[in-house]
């Protein structure tokens, strides 16, 4: 069984043949290129585990080939051992500065050649393992972050992520006077669904309503499950006059949607909305209170409707 694939880049046929025999004896699959251009072609085609690269080559020399290898994302992890008959220390330094992983002066013996290759491949294996573990860790962190910000049932953002997004948008609006709107939605008579059809069907209805709401918004908008059967939608760069259009689309979408498991029963959603900038709304909690009271008004006026509540009405909330 092969212990690795080695590309030998050597323009001297006799030297190449002798080195190939040593490598094959060591259990390696050997590829050979006699110049820099063909070396690059072979690297692209075969992706060797290691490159033995002579410095003195016709056309592109070894230093140029090495620089290409180390600049390409797909090949920069391949170990390069530079081979040269030159004894000058500056030549060795030039090779290492060009990205070579090791340097082997000619003539070399079988033991030293195998030792250098083994060491480079071992280092590469450790680096590959580290990259794999880092990738796994990144994926795990993304999964944990996803779990921390997403509502498991509906797939929308959860309450925590909603408050983070609202704080960010509120601050942006306060600093730059940019508009944004907040919509609060609540499924009408949802308790009846749970009582008559069970919580499993109730959960299904929540997921379908979430799909209806998220299907009417842009990528820059934030839709979140606020709690129970309540939802929040943040619409950046959106005046209240446009927010009502979005809310109406959502309302009509829910009203016309056929919900699985409730025997064709008509289901509706009520909406309350408000927005910024509004000099009388001084914090996020006040904004939420406005949207909540607008939703309360929609319920009081018969449900399945959209209502607006603004900052100039905040004083009336203190009496409630």
Beta strands 269-276 and 230-236, pairing class: unpaired
How many Å apart are CA 185 and CA 298, to the nearest integer? 10
Task: Look at strands 269-276 and 306-308 and give their pairing.
Answer: parallel
Place of tokens 């209806």: 212
Active-site residue flag, 229: yes
Q: Is the peptide bond before 277 cis (omega within 30 degrees of 0)?
A: yes
Q: Tokens representing 10?
A: 């050597």
Cα–Cα distance between 14 and 2 in angstroms, integer? 24
- Choosing from 219, 229, 248, 310, which is the catalytic residue? 229
Specify the DSSP class assigned to residue 78.
Answer: S
DSSP-assigned letter for residue 72:
S
* 238 phi, psi to nearest 5 deg: -130, 115
Are 287 and 299 within 8 A, CB to CB?
no
Q: Burial letters for 44-62: b for 16+ Cβ neighbours within 10 Å, e otherwise?
A: eeeebbbbbbbbebeebeb
Residue 205 φ/ψ, nearest 5 degrees: -65, -40
> In degrees rounded to 5, what are phi and psi of residue 157?
-65, 155
Structural contact between residues 231 and 222, judged by C-beta atoms closer than 8 angstroms: no
What whole-number distance in Å separates Cα of residue 67 and Cα of residue 12? 22
**Active site amino acids:** 229
């Amino acid at each position: 069984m092969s212990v690795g694939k080695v590309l030998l880049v050597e323009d001297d046929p006799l030297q190449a043949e002798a080195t190939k025999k040593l490598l094959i004896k060591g259990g390696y699959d050997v590829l050979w290129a006699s110049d820099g251009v063909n070396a690059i072609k072979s690297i692209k085609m075969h992706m060797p585990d290691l490159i033995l690269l002579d410095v003195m080559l016709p056309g592109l020399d070894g230093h140029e080939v090495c620089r290409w290898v180390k600049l390409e994302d797909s090949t920069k992890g391949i170990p390069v051992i530079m081979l040269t008959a030159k004894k000058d220390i500056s030549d060795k330094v030039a090779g290492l500065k060009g990205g070579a992983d090791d340097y082997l002066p000619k003539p070399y013996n079988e033991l030293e050649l195998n030792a250098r290759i083994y060491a480079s491949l071992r280092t590469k294996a450790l680096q590959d393992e580290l990259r794999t573990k880092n990738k796994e860790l990144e994926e795990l962190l993304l999964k944990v972050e996803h779990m921390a910000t997403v509502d498991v049932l509906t797939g929308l953002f959860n309450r925590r992520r909603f408050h983070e997004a609202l704080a960010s948008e509120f601050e942006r609006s306060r600093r730059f006077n940019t508009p944004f709107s907040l919509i609060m939605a609540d499924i009408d008579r949802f308790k009846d669904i749970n009582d008559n059809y069970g919580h499993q069907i109730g959960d299904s209805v929540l997921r379908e309503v979430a799909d209806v709401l998220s299907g009417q918004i842009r990528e820059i908008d934030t839709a979140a499950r606020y709690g129970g059967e309540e939802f929040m939608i943040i619409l950046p760069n959106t005046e209240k006059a446009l927010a009502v259009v979005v809310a109406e689309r959502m309302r009509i979408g829910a009203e016309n949607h056929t919900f699985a498991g409730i025997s064709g029963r008509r289901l509706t959603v009520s909406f309350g909305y408000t927005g910024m900038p509004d000099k009388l709304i001084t914090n996020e909690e006040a904004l939420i209170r406005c949207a909540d009271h607008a939703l309360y008004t929609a319920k009081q006026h018969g449900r399945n409707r959209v209502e607006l509540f603004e900052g100039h009405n905040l004083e009336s909330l203190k009496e409630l």
